Structure 1
Amino acid sequence: MVRGEAGIGKTALLDHLAAHAQGCRTVRAAGSEAEMELPFAGLHQLCAPLLDDADQLSTPQREALDVAFGLTTGPAPNAFLLGLATLNTVAEAARERPLICLVDDAQWLDRASVQVLGFVARRLQAESVGLVFAVRDSDTERLLEGLPTLTLEGLPEDEALALLRSVIPGPIDAHVRSRILAEARGNPLALMELPRGITMADLGGGFPRRAPRPSASRIEESFRDRIGSLPPATRRLLLLAAAEPLGDVTLLRRGAERLGISMDAASPALALGLIEIGGRVRFRHPLVRSACYDQANEYDRTEVHRALAEVTDPVRDADRRAWHRALATVLPDEDVAAELIRCADRARARGGLAAAAAFFERATELTPDRRTRCARALTAAEAAFDAASVDSAYHLARAAEAGPLDPLQSARVRRLHARIVFVRSRGSEAAPLFLEAADRLAPLDAALTREACLEALAAAIFAGRLGGGTTVREAAEFARAAPRAPGPPSRVDHILEGVSTRFTAGYAAAVEPLRGALRAFQREAGGGHVDTVRWLWLACPVAPEPIAPELWDDEAWHDLADSAVRLARGTGALASLPVALTYRAGVHLQAGEFAEASALIDEANALNTATGNTPPDYTSLLLVAWRDDEHQAKKAIDEAARTATEKGQGRALGLAHHVTAVLYNGLSRYDAALAGAQRACAYEDFGFFGWYLVELVEAGARSGAQEAAHDALDRLTETTEAAGTDWALGVQARSRALLEKERDAEKSYREAVDRLGRTRLRVEQARAHLVYGEWLRRENRKSDAREQLRTAYDMFTDFGASGYAARAAAELQATGETVVRRGTAAGAALTPQEAHIAGLARDGLTNPEIGAQLFLSPHTVEWHLRKVFAKLGISSRRQLRTVLAERPTTTPS
Structure 2
Amino acid sequence: MLPPHRSLELTGRDAERDALDQLVAAVCSGESRALVLSGEAGVGKTALMDHLAAQAHRGQVVRVSGVQSEMELAFAALHQVCAPALGLLDRVPAPQAEALRTVFGISAGPPPDMFLIGLGVLSLLAEAAVDQPLLCLVDDQQWLDRCSAQILSFVARRLGAESLGLVFATREVGPILQGLPEYQIGGLRDADARSLLDAVLTVPIDAQVRNQLVAEAHGNPLALLELPRGLTPAQLAGGFGLPGASGIEESFVQRVTAMPAETRRLLLLAAAEPSGDDALVRRAAVRLGIDPQAAAPATDAGLAEFANRIRFRHPLVRSAAYCSASAAEQREVHQALAAETDAEADPDRRAWHRAQGAAGPDEEIAEELERSAGRAQARSGFAATAAFLQRSAALTIDPVKRAGRALAAAQAELQTGAFDSAAELLAMAEGEQLSELQRARADLVHAQLAFLTNRGNDAPQLMLKAARRLEKVDVVLARTTYLDALSAAIFAGHLATPDGDVLAVAQEAAAAPQPAVTRSVDLLLEGSALYYRDGYAASAPTLHKALAGFGPGLSVEEELQLLWMAATTALRLWDADRWAELSRRHVQLVRQTGVLSDVALALTSLAYVSVFAGDLEAAASLTDEAEAANEVTGGKLAPYGRLALAAFRGDRSETLALAEATKRDGSRRGEGIGVAFADWASAVLANGLGRYQDALDAAQRSAEDRSIILVHSELVEAAVRTGAIDTAHRAAQTLQEMATATGTDWALGVSARCRAMVTAGETAEGLYREAITHLEKTALKVELARAQLLYGEWLRRERRRTDAREYLRTAHSGFEAMGLAGFADRARRELQAAGGTARKRVVPTRTELTAQEAQIARMARDGLSNPEIATRLFISARTVQYHLRKVFSKLEIASRSQLDQVLPR
1:551/1:723 contact within 8 Å kept = yes
2:520/2:547 contact within 8 Å kept = no
Shift of residue 90, structure 1, vs aligned partner: 1.3
Question: 1:119 & 1:768 partners in 2: Cα distance?
Answer: 42
Alignment of 1:47-446 (within 5 A): 47-137=82-172, 141-169=174-202, 172=205, 176-198=209-231, 212=245, 218-446=247-475
Shift of residue 414, structure 1, vs aligned partner: 1.5
Does 2:734 match 1:704? no
CA, structure 1 residues 580+683, in 2 after alignment: closer, same or farther (shift >3 Å)? closer
Counterpart secondary structure, 2:166: strand
Question: 2:594 & 2:419 partners in 1: Cα distance?
Answer: 21
Shift of residue 770, structure 1, vs aligned partner: 1.6
Cα deviation digits, residues 683-709 of structure 1 (max 9, x gap): 22x2xx221121122112212333333
Question: 1:4 & 1:135 partners in 2: Cα distance?
Answer: 7
**Counterpart in 2 of 1:891?**
none
2:809/2:838 contact within 8 Å kept = no
CA, structure 1 residues 868+498, in 2 after alignment: closer, same or farther (shift >3 Å)? farther
Does 2:693 match 1:671? yes
Counterpart secondary structure, 2:305: strand
Question: 1:590 & 1:183 partners in 2: Cα distance?
Answer: 62
Cα deviation digits, residues 33-67 of structure 1 (max 9, x gap): 11101101001112222222224345544443232
Residue 163 of structure 1 aligns with an amino acid whose one-letter code is L
Shift of residue 570, structure 1, vs aligned partner: 4.1
CA, structure 1 residues 554+423, in 2 after alignment: closer, same or farther (shift >3 Å)? closer
Shift of residue 118, structure 1, vs aligned partner: 1.8
Residue ranges of structure 1 left out of the alignment (5+ in a row): 887-893
Does 2:780 match 1:761? yes
CA, structure 1 residues 63+787, in 2 after alignment: closer, same or farther (shift >3 Å)? closer
CA, structure 1 residues 182+637, in 2 after alignment: closer, same or farther (shift >3 Å)? farther
Shift of residue 169, structure 1, vs aligned partner: 4.9
1:119/1:610 contact within 8 Å kept = no
Question: 1:644 & 1:601 partners in 2: Cα distance?
Answer: 19
Does 2:510 match 1:475? no
**Counterpart in 2 of 1:518?**
547
Counterpart secondary structure, 2:410: helix
What TM-score results when the alignment is normalised by the length of structure 2?
Answer: 0.91
CA, structure 1 residues 533+598, in 2 after alignment: closer, same or farther (shift >3 Å)? farther
Residue 715 of structure 2 aligns with an amino acid whose one-letter code is L
2:521/2:562 contact within 8 Å kept = no
Question: 2:625 & 2:271 partners in 1: Cα distance?
Answer: 40
CA, structure 1 residues 603+371, in 2 after alignment: closer, same or farther (shift >3 Å)? closer
CA, structure 1 residues 717+94, in 2 after alignment: closer, same or farther (shift >3 Å)? same
Question: 1:208 & 1:482 partners in 2: Cα distance?
Answer: 76
**Counterpart in 1 of 2:41?**
6
1:582/1:616 contact within 8 Å kept = no
Counterpart secondary structure, 2:710: helix
Residue 456 of structure 1 aligns with an amino acid whose one-letter code is A
Does 2:500 match 1:501? no
What TM-score results when the alignment is normalised by the length of structure 1?
Answer: 0.93
**Counterpart in 1 of 2:768?**
749
Residue 14 of structure 1 aligns with an amino acid whose one-letter code is M
Residue 261 of structure 1 aligns with an amino acid whose one-letter code is I
**Counterpart in 1 of 2:682?**
660
CA, structure 1 residues 873+607, in 2 after alignment: closer, same or farther (shift >3 Å)? farther
Shift of residue 313, structure 1, vs aligned partner: 1.0
Residue 762 of structure 1 aligns with an amino acid whose one-letter code is K
Residue 474 of structure 1 aligns with an amino acid whose one-letter code is A
CA, structure 1 residues 598+378, in 2 after alignment: closer, same or farther (shift >3 Å)? closer
CA, structure 1 residues 528+128, in 2 after alignment: closer, same or farther (shift >3 Å)? farther
CA, structure 1 residues 536+103, in 2 after alignment: closer, same or farther (shift >3 Å)? farther
CA, structure 1 residues 64+747, in 2 after alignment: closer, same or farther (shift >3 Å)? closer
Does 2:740 match 1:714? no
Match of 1:793 among 783, 794, 812: 812
Question: 1:455 & 1:16 partners in 2: Cα distance?
Answer: 53
1:144/1:609 contact within 8 Å kept = no
1:827/1:873 contact within 8 Å kept = no
Residue 535 of structure 1 aligns with an amino acid whose one-letter code is Q
Question: 1:614 & 1:646 partners in 2: Cα distance?
Answer: 12
Question: 1:789 & 1:551 partners in 2: Cα distance?
Answer: 30
Percent identical pairs in the alignment equals: 49
Question: 1:775 & 1:181 partners in 2: Cα distance?
Answer: 81
Question: 2:400 & 2:44 partners in 1: Cα distance?
Answer: 50
Question: 1:519 & 1:827 partners in 2: Cα distance?
Answer: 50
Does 2:578 match 1:552? no
Shift of residue 442, structure 1, vs aligned partner: 0.6
Give RMSD over aligned pairs: 2.4
Residue 659 of structure 2 aligns with an amino acid whose one-letter code is I
CA, structure 1 residues 712+648, in 2 after alignment: closer, same or farther (shift >3 Å)? same
Moved more, 119-128 or 465-474: 119-128
2:160/2:876 contact within 8 Å kept = no
Shift of residue 238, structure 1, vs aligned partner: 0.7
**Counterpart in 2 of 1:44?**
79
Question: 1:246 & 1:764 partners in 2: Cα distance?
Answer: 59
CA, structure 1 residues 829+514, in 2 after alignment: closer, same or farther (shift >3 Å)? farther
CA, structure 1 residues 337+8, in 2 after alignment: closer, same or farther (shift >3 Å)? same
Moved more, 861-870 or 91-100: 861-870
Question: 2:781 & 2:90 partners in 1: Cα distance?
Answer: 47
Shift of residue 249, structure 1, vs aligned partner: 0.9
Does 2:603 match 1:581? yes
Shift of residue 171, structure 1, vs aligned partner: 5.6
Counterpart secondary structure, 1:690: coil
Counterpart secondary structure, 1:52: helix
